[in-house]
A and B are shown apart, each in its own frame.
Chain A
Amino acid sequence: MRSSDTIKKILLTLILAAGIFATLSSKTYYLWNLLIIPELDYNSFEKSVRYGDLYRMSRVTAFKEDIPYPPPELIYNSVDESDIISAGDSFFLLPINGLKFAAALEKYSGKKIYDATQFDVEYGKRPAAMLTIKGFNRDKEKIFILECVERYSHERAKTKYLASVNEVVFKYLYLDANILSLSSAEEWLQRSVILRTPLEFKADAYFKFFRRLPEISSIYTLNPPMLFYNEDRDYAGIKPDSVYIEETANSLKKLSVLLKEKYNLVLLYVVIPNKYSLYGEYVNPDFKYNNYIPALTESLRSKGVHTFDTYTLLKENSNNELLYYRSDTHFNEKGRDLLVKECANMISLISGESEKSK
């Protein structure tokens, strides 16, 4: 064999070894932890602080916020023993510190909750599909809390919640083996000490010279230092007219009827305001909220769907305190508490109505 061929083979083997190491690092706990920066990692319990999702995307030091991180308390009730089922997206997996939404609600309301969100956020996108799979006992009436962030509320209500074919498709989604995902290897590289210095240096330099952040979290204010998700800002540009509101409300009404008839569940719909809807004026003094949540609440109530005006609740009860993390898209403990209390009130109301009707 010629020496040049041997050199080529050695080089190819080295490249292969590096690629395999990066892939395995994202799949095995020990390798993952070997080079990772714990506070940038949601999966790691090693550090007592965490950083917000928007900071983890931007990596600009000016927006760094140390969030204390006690280990999360999760609830493990079975579907049958629970009074309430909750499903939602990332807001129900938060806040970063303290009790998760469902755990806090269980503590506050004294009712047992089956929190589907902690198993898969897909449940919150396709509730009907989840309920088919779970096949719980429908003899006892339960409350179904469906949470959705404001920016996805219309689209999910219109196209996802009621799509019947998803009940079949949904089962196949579980064939998605994470083992094929390289995004975890990418995440590992980005959160590892290998890329920490160059990534943070570049992010800081870009911010210093251009006042520019990565697209996904490019909206910011420096007083107070706060990051916003781009989709939030884009959603603020939408002017929800009566057709838009009615489309959402009608779909949710249909879902509410379906849940009651098929599963004996009473729907409580909780739409969480975008961070930009609450704090847009920090970024743009001329910002005016598009009034989506109050208008939707009114329409849903007129159709007999249980919900409450989360926007007005948070806006009027903040006591000049921030209810969302500065460096994260989601609410903090204070925001969670306000919503949990109102949710508990609604649950009492719904339970009272059910008792009366019996």
Chain B
Amino acid sequence: MVFSSLSFLIFIMVFFPLFFLSGKRLRPAVLMSASLFFYMHVRTFYIIVTIIWIFVNYFILFRLYAAVNSGCVNSRRKKFYFAAGLCFNILALIVFKYDYFLTDNANALLHAIKPSISLPYVNLLVPLGISFITFKSISFLIEVYNGNYKNKIGLFNYSQYILFFPGVLAGPIDRPAKLMPQLENLNRDFDSADFRKGLGFILMGLFQKAVIADRISLLISGGLNNPRNSTGAELLLFVLLYSVQIYCDFAGYSNMAIGAAKLFGIDIMQNFDRPYFAKSISEFWRKWHISLSSWLRDYLFLPLAFRYTRKFTEKSFSVKNIDRYSYVIAVLVTMLIAGVWHGAGWTFIVWGLLLAFYMIFGFYTKKIRRRIFKKIGFGQNSPLKSFIQISVNFILITFAWIFFRAQDLSSALITIRKILYIPFGNYSPGAEHQTIFSFEMIIAIVLVLAYFTIEYLQYSGREINKSINSMPAVLRYSFYFFAVCFILIAGYFSTIQFIYAQF
């Protein structure tokens, strides 16, 4: 169910009032029904797989919890259940999500050896939100294993945590320590302030999704799907706009998820913090898809960089460079997994490795860059320096998105080659092709600029929300009314799926 659809509106119109009108004892059941309904809406079959998944995970988690709390710090049982939980989740993810990718590549290899041999596709129906469910499950395992989560875990509440509808399809990947206590205690009364805030987030998300992201999608999809049919100049504009599209699409989804949860009085984590105003790739990664990047940081990067690779690199490299090499290996592994997590394809692997390369390059050139800026005469807080850093960062990120968006590596390379060498081809595109000079393209660019101006004002410390809230009631509600009208008139409410829902 797409958050920006009429289906979701009807869904909320039924379950949100039902939640508060039902007695406090019934609320967990109502919320669970809402989550199950949301999940089963597309295909009932998905829930069968997911329920088995939850049962197996819960069984392992339950045993792990008992082993951790048995008093023995390094018990074998604890390690066994932890390893079993990790293996189960990772293997299941591979089987469900990477079947096509692995079979395709295995067949390509087999074909080179003996053309008549080929492996069949398993072709399983992939449960919705499988990547997010896996990361949530692993998150719980790690928190319990490390002794950070000490509360008792019931099967019902655990299922509620995994299936909680606002984040089940595309995150945010909330940590158990934050979400579980809220799900265990659903006794709060209907709060009109929460309701207003929730609607505010949903409206903001709708604006990002329907007015910006989907508008851009209509303008650039044809060109990016068939880069051969566009000039380099067009493709350059399309990839720049794609950077905006993917941000507004995913941030829009996250805001609507936050808003939907808020309607039920539940707080889930922010997923974006104006990432295109980051001054380095590392900072961008801290501000983009925060729930995933912090997950990767806490559960993969830091353990790799400071624990495991240290042992490994002591044997392989000189001790003098140990931290550098640890960093390099940890970044490479983390970003490779980030790439693979997004999708089963070489384009995502290249995207992940490219980001890793940026980060490593940035790490090694930090001192040199600092010296150059000093020589030019830029101070610590020079606006021009910030502008250059933000711009360079945006260009590098946009370059990486080319691989993320491309249907295959050759399309990505064609796009890059055309942008670099053939900016103005003599291709005559015909009526089906969106040219960069259309009236709607200009409108889209104006909207994008307006949106980023608002983000810039927020970035530079202006609190726009507070200004709106401090308006007299008549003005405030007029503002809301016009905002809704504007979104309905200027938005595209088609069936365009959220980009991150496919992961």
Contacts and interface: CB of A to CB of B under 8 A. Distances in A.
Interface of A: 8-9, 12-13, 15-16, 18-20, 22-23, 158-160, 162-166, 169, 172-173, 175-177, 180-183, 185-186, 189-190, 202, 209-212, 214-216, 218-221, 228, 230, 233-234, 237, 283-287
Contacts of B7: 182-183, 185-186
B217 A215 contact: yes
Contact of B43 (A163, A173, A285, A287): A173
Contacts of A175: 44-45, 48
A215 B123 contact: no
A159 B218 contact: no
8 contacts: A9-B21, A20-B14, A162-B120, A166-B123, A175-B44, A215-B218, A216-B495, A230-B221
Give the 9 A-B CB pairs with smallest separation, nearest first. A284-B430, A19-B13, A163-B123, A237-B226, A12-B17, A19-B14, A16-B17, A182-B7, A186-B6
B474 interface: no
A169 B96 CA distance: 14
B369 interface: no
Contacts of B433: 284
Contacts of B294: none
Contacts of B214: 215
Interface string B4-33: 011100111110111011000000000000
Contact of A234 (B14, B218, B222, B496): B222
B495 A176 contact: no
A159 B190 CA distance: 49
Contact of A212 (B6, B440, B495): B440
B102 to A, nearest CB: 13
Contacts of B124: 165, 169
B429 interface: yes
B10 A12 contact: no
Given A185-B10, A216-B495, A209 B439 contact: yes
Contacts of A20: 14
A7 B145 CA distance: 48
B157 interface: no
Interface in B102-128: 120-125
Contacts of A163: 120-123
Contact of A214 (B5, B40, B229, B494): B494
Contacts of B473: none
Nearest to A16: B17
Contacts of A209: 439
B192 interface: yes
Identify whether the interface residues of B are mostly helix, strand, loop, or mixed.
Answer: helix
B501 interface: no
Interface residues of B, number: 54
B299 interface: no
Given A166-B123, A212-B440, A286-B428, 12 more contacts: A15-B13, A18-B13, A23-B14, A163-B122, A163-B123, A169-B125, A175-B48, A211-B440, A219-B432, A220-B431, A237-B226, A287-B430
Contact of B45 (A22, A160, A169): A169
B1 interface: yes
Contact of A12 (B5, B6, B190): B190
Nearest to B217: A215
Contacts of A285: 430
Given A176-B45, A185-B10, A215 B496 contact: yes
Contact of A237 (B48, B218, B229): B229
Contacts of A214: 218, 492, 494
Given A13-B21, A182-B7, A212-B218, A159 B123 contact: yes
B101 interface: no
Contacts of A162: 120-121
A183 B5 CA distance: 9
A278 B48 CA distance: 43
A23 B41 CA distance: 13
Contact of A233 (B21, B125, B190, B222): B222
Contacts of A172: 45, 48
A193 to B, nearest CB: 15
A15 B12 CA distance: 9
Among the interface residues A9, A164, A215, which one has the most CB atoms of the partner chain B within 10 A? A215
Interface string B31-52: 0000001001101110010000
Contacts of A237: 225-226, 228-229
B100 interface: yes
Contacts of B16: 12, 15
B265 to A, nearest CB: 13
A228 B20 CA distance: 46
